[in-house]
Amino acid sequence: SVDKLIGDAIMLTFGLSAPQGDEAARALRCAAAMHHAFAGLPSRWRRRYGPLRIELAIGCAQGDAVLANIGSAVRM
């Protein structure tokens, strides 16, 4: 699920609400699909908008997570 949008970044989580045991594999498949989908975009964008530099970086981590709502109930 999408955990948060941070500027030009997206943080995704797998299995937090309903663990299935294959979270790491699903995360890696998602990363591979994002990489594949991104592969053709820069050349299409260059044809449309001219020279530009755009890159994709993907980080994956596995392990324990602390889940909580931080802050007041008014600002959720």
Per residue in 32-58, pLDDT (tens digit) is: 999 998 888 888 888 888 887 788 889
β strands within the chain, DSSP E? 2-6, 9-12
The amino acid occupying position 62 is: Q
**Is 52 or 62 the better-scoring residue by pLDDT?**
62
**What is the Rg, in whole angstroms, of the alpha carbon atoms belonging to the chain?**
17
What do you get for the CA distance between the two ends of the chain, in Å?
18
Mean pLDDT rounded to a whole number for the chain: 83
Note the pLDDT of residue 76.
57
Note the pLDDT of residue 32.
94
Kindly state the helix (H) or strand (E) to which residue 42 belongs, with its residue range. helix 41-49
The overall pTM is greater than 0.85? no
Evaluated on CA atoms 55, 40, 2, 22, the torsion sign reads negative
